[in-house]
């Protein structure tokens, strides 16, 4: 359990009704070592939360080297039930993933850098049980080539009846200087570290068990200010007739990896409006707090997020909150 909350928020008493807890500690208590990028799904059949998270070392030491799925029946204590490594994906780095279940079958979406193209993409794997995911059977779900972008990653799912809304972080090609070459942009295996692209949020929609089809941009970076380079939706929660969206924001490439959280609202899951402010709504007392993943369970709502600590390491935190959908 955390002795002092890392999360700092504006005007949200419901954030503080329950104490923050640590779900997973960083691989090392040093700058550049992280655990986080959570993605969550609640299974009504077994009354359990399934939590995806990834482990990361500094650049030059492996970056996102492993991802895991853990299970919990109380939202606090998690047991790992599955994992995948960057070697199995033949990838320089693994990032965020998402889980869902349709007609009794589990579907897992993972974002990673394709070792051949050096670009971020999203693949999917299906299985009857989470423990049985075989990464060797993965299929491309969304690639930069498919949507006409330089990168696509960090899937977030919202299911509405037979419809599946997938929100992704992507780098629009039209915002890149025409003089930039593909080789130059992707030489680092992460175009978002170059400062030559912006991270916007796009939407793809699927019906039933079909693949997601690209719709287009739904949330762009602001013209100026703290979120003028990055506006990446990380999670959504239903509040009466609206959805509240948490999004990661950054002003420039120096804040890559150290984003903070803003809020946006939508009534149709297509048009988003940022809650106006001159700074982030949520952050760690030591700076970055990102990848907020909310989940509604039979026992209430939980938030999971990645937060920077005093050492510069990132840890995976959780908190039960009072807001009800």
* One-letter-per-residue 3-state SS of 93-148: CEEEEEEEEECCEEEEEEEEECCCCCCEEEEEEEECCHHHCCHHHCEEEECHHHHC
* One-letter-per-residue 3-state SS of 251-264: CCHHHCCCCEEEEE
Q: What is the pLDDT of residue 322?
A: 77
Contact 316, 16 (CB under 8 A): no
pLDDT at 278 over 50: yes
Q: Averaged over 131-154, what is the pLDDT? A: 97
Q: What is the pLDDT of residue 5?
A: 80
Q: What is the pLDDT of residue 2?
A: 45
CATH of 7-321, one of 3.40.50.920, 1.20.272.10, 2.115.10.20, 3.40.718.10: 2.115.10.20
pLDDT at 325 over 60: no
Q: How far apart are CA 24 and CA 309, in angstroms?
A: 13
Residue 289's closest CA among 253, 324, 250? 250
By percentage, how much of the chain surpasses pLDDT 70? 93
By percentage, how much of the chain surpasses pLDDT 90? 82
Q: How far apart are CA 301 and CA 156, in angstroms?
A: 17
Please state which of the ranges 7-11, 89-93, 313-317 shows the lowest mean pLDDT. 7-11
CA end-to-end span of the chain, whole Å?
Answer: 27
Q: What is the pLDDT of residue 125?
A: 98
User: Which pLDDT tens digit goes with each residue over 293-305?
Assistant: 999 999 899 999 9
In the block, residue with structure tokens 């952050």: 283
pLDDT at 3 over 70: no
pLDDT at 323 over 70: no
Report strand pairing: 48-56 vs 34-43.
antiparallel
Alpha-carbon dihedral sign for residues 135, 66, 287, 317: positive
Q: What is the pLDDT of residue 1?
A: 38
pLDDT at 239 over 80: yes
| Widest CA span in the chain | 54
For the chain, the structural domain boundaries read: 7-321
Which residues are CB-neighbours of 268 under 8 A, at least 6 positions away? none
| Greater pLDDT, 173 or 124 | 124
Q: Averaged over 215-237, what is the pLDDT? A: 96
- Three-state DSSP state, 25: coil
Q: What is the pTM of this model?
A: 0.95
Q: What is the pLDDT of residue 4?
A: 62
Q: What is the pLDDT of residue 16?
A: 65
Contact 99, 50 (CB under 8 A): yes
């Amino acid at each position: 359990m955390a002795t002092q909350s890392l999360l700092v928020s504006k005007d949200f008493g419901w954030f503080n009704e329950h104490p923050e807890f640590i779900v997973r500690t960083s691989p090392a208590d040093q700058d550049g070592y992280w655990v986080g990028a959570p993605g969550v799904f609640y299974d009504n059949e077994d009354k359990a939360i399934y939590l995806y998270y990834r482990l990361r070392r500094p650049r030059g030491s492996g970056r996102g080297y492993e991802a895991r799925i853990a299970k919990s029946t109380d939202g606090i204590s998690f047991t790992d039930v599955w994992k995948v490594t960057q070697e199995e994906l033949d990838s320089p780095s693994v990032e965020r993933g998402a889980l869902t279940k349709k007609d009794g079958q589990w579907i897992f979406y993972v974002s990673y850098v394709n070792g051949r193209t050096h670009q971020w993409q999203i693949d999917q794997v299906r299985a009857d049980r989470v423990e049985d995911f075989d990464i060797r059977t993965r299929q491309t779900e969304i690639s930069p080539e498919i949507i006409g972008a330089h990168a696509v990653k960090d899937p977030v799912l919202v299911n509405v009846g037979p419809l599946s809304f997938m929100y992704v972080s992507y780098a629009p090609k039209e915002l890149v200087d025409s003089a930039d070459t593909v080789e130059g942009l992707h030489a680092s295996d992460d175009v978002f570290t170059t400062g030559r692209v912006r991270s916007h949020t796009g939407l793809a929609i699927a019906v039933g068990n079909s693949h997601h089809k690209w719709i287009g941009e739904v949330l762009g970076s602001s013209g100026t200010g703290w979120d003028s380079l990055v506006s990446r939706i990380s999670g959504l929660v239903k509040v009466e007739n609206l959805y509240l969206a948490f999004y990661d924001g950054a002003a420039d490439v120096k804040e890559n990896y150290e984003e903070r959280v803003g809020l946006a609202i939508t009534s149709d899951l297509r048009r988003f409006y940022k809650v106006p402010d001159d700074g982030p709504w949520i952050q760690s007392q030591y700076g970055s707090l990102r990848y907020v993943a909310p989940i509604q369970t039979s026992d209430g709502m939980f938030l999971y997020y990645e937060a920077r600590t005093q050492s510069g390491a990132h840890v995976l935190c959780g908190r039960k909150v009072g807001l009800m959908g």
